[in-house]
Structure 1
């Protein structure tokens, strides 16, 4: 039996139809009735009927609104609309709701029975389809690529038990039976200079990305068993084969992927490679390792595959560039001398050499130091991006270096350039700071409390530091400049106004008239009263 809900606001019509039809003989049972959509939606939520027969125009909630809510609850519920003769056009507008039938009022029992028979046939057909094993199999096959990708993503993003992993590998027919594995992550280096082929701009990479995944899959299939899929902006390949085969062919196939993408689209490719491993429970860790290796590619150049093993410090060698050294290096770049810098770098290299470090170890150390250098420059240089474009060739020279001495020489050269930029920036910032303080003095000279301390507080720097940089930029001590500002303003007021000397004194920041007069005479070799007297006698006062 299929369940049915009847919704009609006219009580007599509703009861007449319910009582007239022999529902059970047609394969239905009426599980509820309602006089409007508001009442009916509660029944739908509780009983989820297979069929709903509903009027369109009803109080509180009409049939159209009710049908929309039903579709949200159960998209496959069969809906039949009852309409008045002049409501038919209104009902047609609801066709997007996938209403199965429209019945015009008054509806005959025969028409209602025919409609119910037709609906039952559709319900029977759908029910049979759901039970049809072949259809279910087909649906599964069609969705298998999505299921496989979902499992592969879970493999590299979460930790899963071995039993569950290998059960899914068998069930999904994945090429991950080992016994050894290697993960490499491919990414387009969008920040590099590129000569595009076949696409108009770097933004079009998203459009052709499926083609890039297919290239990686096709090339990998030529050499080793694998699963290749996309994850965000990455193309991820899990190689699964013997240790010997992976060691013999992994590098070859990665190089071919880079060449193929570069040849077809002109896109620079970077690849990060994990360690080899035997248990897929380690897939997440090794994927993360491949991404870690990938992060070094941007520093070491494009169209390269970087193995994690090549950037890990050699066993037994304590990595010397720790947090303390990083802070010391940053401090030297900002405030040290070239002698300090050269001594620091030499000590680092000598320490590595004494421990028997390989050339790879020196490269790792330099990568860490360049990372610190860039962070320091970002925090110290306002137009950092523009200046780093100029210095990028110096960074490339470091990675092209063939010997340890050459690496050290080119690195010192880069550091000196950054130190020069930071020093120029500091000089510019010092001048800005002093000028800001000077303008504050000119605006607040009438404040008796104005002093080196108050101006320093306004600038959020120490009094000692401001005193030093003020004299360096202005060429005079703070106290002398403040006196000059006040005296020049006092001279102007005494020359151009009739303000009393006491008023002038207060106007330029002196509460004590006698001290003002003393300071004025010391500065101009004439007292305020003498100056005022000369003015009264018609003596023309010269400009300052």
Structure 2
């Protein structure tokens, strides 16, 4: 059952199409309808319909402009135009928009039904190609050349000496021009997947889609490592990381919609040297693990969710202490307790000599200090009195030491949570302040605000909605309308002047948005206020 969004400013036309056509019988479900192009684009973000059927002539944004925006942002969406005879030749000129069909008004229900039956067949063929097991197996066998894949794996493990890097790249015909690099990890969930699908084939399908959607744009090198798909992306400038994050976020939602795959994309730190990709890879792994806090089916940029986190290049992520630090960052308090228990059992409960016990205590103090420093936590409690702390802890019995470590780790867990909360609150406050200072600008919007804040649209939009209960666009619109309402009752300015003063170049669209919020036109709002005042 494919999804359909109808767009037309004539409600009676929408009603006839929605009511008269037997949509479910021909394999479609109408998920919504919009009266203009602006509203349709807002709905596209949430609904991600397979098909959009739109009229050409509409206020504020016509059908061709809408199709152009959809083609850029949602290239997989099928587009249909219905229009009057006078606009037909005009519509046919837009061949670059890859319109599936042009339907002339007055609408013929039989013709619409036939058009959508053919479109259903085309969509089925495309879907079957994506899911065809034989094709996936062939693609799996013909993945990246073994030598190149081994090189990329060894590179992110940090096992290629710097003086041999050039030789390997020449021998394997590998070109990494940069000038900036970033590792991303595409993790496909094995616990949440379509019934009857083999996880290996599903992962291959996701990788193939990454080859199609991400590789060319980011000059990427894609390979498999530890069950995940990894891509080394090349960036022209460091600021491109926000655009990469947004594109990966759209990728997650698309593969979920088409294949039913739950995918998390972890995005590592940007680096300037190929040798530093080991750190970028490790921070990407950290980002993927943060899905327990931020949810799967999305892109997670480590520098956005934990700006203060610095990943250790030489960290052994497999030992008990690394697991404890991980639980301090992203686990629940009971997870911290279990990690402390595992660490103590392995490192202290089985010690046979006092000397080894004291060495383990010193190593624990050193690692705690490095962890706190790397996360910009107050390490004064350790750094200011290492000798005193060592003398105190080395005289503790294991049971007492375990309780001390549990209490200390619990405080670190709370400190990390507080730092994360304050970081989010600061970002939201900065965004609101930016709106308050720039709401008069016609160009102010989500893209402009995220660029100013230095974060991706996907992360900011998700965070803003979660923290405030409304989308950023809704907040901006409400703020502008509140300002407009005050201007209407406190000044004698004309509506078109007020529209410009709150960031609307089109006074008609301003009136449309104002009426949608307050239920009356701007002029009526002013008149009623004057009456009530008298």
**TM-score normalised over the length of structure 1:** 0.35
**TM-score normalised over the length of structure 2:** 0.35
Higher RCO structure (Cα 8 Å, ≥6 apart): 2
Higher alpha-carbon Rg: 1
